[in-house]
């Protein structure tokens, strides 16, 4: 039996999806990979996986794809785990370190800087452990994923980028969608989406499993108030607006 290769994001926010896939009656049809968002995008571009939880900012790099699920990683307002961390207020920030784990977030902060904050910054690539050692003075940093939970009390200013997007547009933000460049059978995609539904329906159980691993946060609150998993019409509108603004950005320095 062919096993379909599935890449999903290794952060806490995708644990309900992982739970559903691992507990699905169709588990034997799938080979699961946990990756950084940027790595998921690379695997999709290189046709190394059949289906991936792809960062929205990377969709424009794919010459062909289709979204195969009505589930996503999104937020209606504050997402908590995608932030700009700083020792000083935004109007005093001069340099922003760009998290290497997600191109979508890099594009989001550039969109906010250009169209909403009306600010110009010096952009610099980040390195491993930058979130603990290199954010200081007028140098801020974009931090995403579970690392935010460990550093959010370390810095005086934490700007939630999904909340900033909502302030700017009034729309939800979609961080990642389930997409394919392959042609998996519709029967498999039906099983796949049933597994995702199983995971979202089982968030209470996922919370019990994950809470001991994240004592610094309320995982149920995070799953149900910060993350929004349904790719509804409003989220599609927000996603379309984001992709439009990406195209209007000036050439990256």
Which residues of the chain carry a pLDDT beneath 50? none
Q: Which residues contact 174 (CB under 8 A, 6 or more apart)?
A: 56, 72, 73, 74, 231, 235, 236, 238, 239, 242
Q: How far apart are CA 13 and CA 169, in angstroms?
A: 23
Q: How far apart are CA 175 and CA 238, in angstroms?
A: 10
Q: How far apart are CA 124 and CA 135, in angstroms?
A: 12
Neighbours of 11 (CB within 10 A): 22
Picking from 214, 202, 211, 181, the residue whose alpha carbon sits closest to that of residue 18 is 202
How big is the chain by its Cα radius of gyration, in Å?
18
Thinking of the domain 4-74+172-248, which architecture would CATH place it in? Answer: 3-Layer(aba) Sandwich (3.40)
87-124 pLDDT, tens digit each: 999 999 999 999 877 888 999 999 999 999 999 999 99
pLDDT of residue 252: 62
pLDDT of residue 253: 53
Q: Which residues contact 243 (CB under 8 A, 6 or more apart)?
A: 56, 59, 60
Q: CATH 3.40.190.10 spans which residues of the chain? A: 4-74+172-248, 82-169
Picking from 95, 11, 96, the residue whose alpha carbon sits closest to that of residue 53 is 11
Q: How far apart are CA 222 and CA 225, in angstroms?
A: 6
Alpha helix segments (H runs only) across the chain: 15-22, 37-45, 103-111, 130-133, 147-151, 161-169, 186-201, 203-210, 219-221, 233-248
* Topology of the domain comprising 82-169: D-Maltodextrin-Binding Protein; domain 2 (3.40.190)
pLDDT of residue 2: 83
């Amino acid at each position: 039996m062919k096993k379909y290769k599935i890449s999903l994001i290794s952060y806490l926010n995708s644990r309900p999806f992982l739970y559903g896939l691992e507990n699905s009656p169709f588990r034997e049809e799938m080979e699961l990979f946990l990756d950084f968002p940027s790595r998921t995008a690379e695997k999709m571009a290189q046709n190394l996986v059949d289906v991936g939880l792809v960062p929205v900012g990377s969709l424009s790099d794919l010459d062909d794809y289709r979204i195969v699920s009505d589930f996503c990683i999104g937020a209606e307002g504050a997402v908590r785990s995608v932030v700009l961390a700083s020792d000083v207020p935004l109007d005093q920030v001069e340099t922003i370190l760009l998290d290497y784990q997600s191109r979508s977030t890099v594009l989001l902060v550039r969109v906010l800087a250009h169209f909403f904050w009306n600010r110009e910054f010096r952009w610099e690539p980040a390195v491993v452990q930058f979130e603990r050692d290199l954010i200081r003075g007028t140098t801020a940093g974009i931090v995403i994923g579970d690392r935010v939970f460990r550093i959010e009390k370390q810095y005086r200013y934490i700007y939630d980028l999904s909340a900033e997007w909502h302030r700017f547009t009034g729309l939800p933000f979609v961080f990642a969608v389930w997409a394919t460049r392959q042609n998996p059978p519709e029967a498999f995609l039906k099983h796949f989406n049933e597994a995702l539904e199983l995971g979202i329906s089982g968030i209470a159980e996922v919370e019990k499993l994950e809470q001991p691993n994240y004592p610094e946060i309320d995982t149920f609150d995070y799953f149900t108030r910060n993350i929004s998993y349904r790719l509804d019409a409003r989220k599609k509108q927000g996603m379309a607006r984001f992709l439009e603004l990406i195209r209007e950005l000036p050439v990256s320095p």
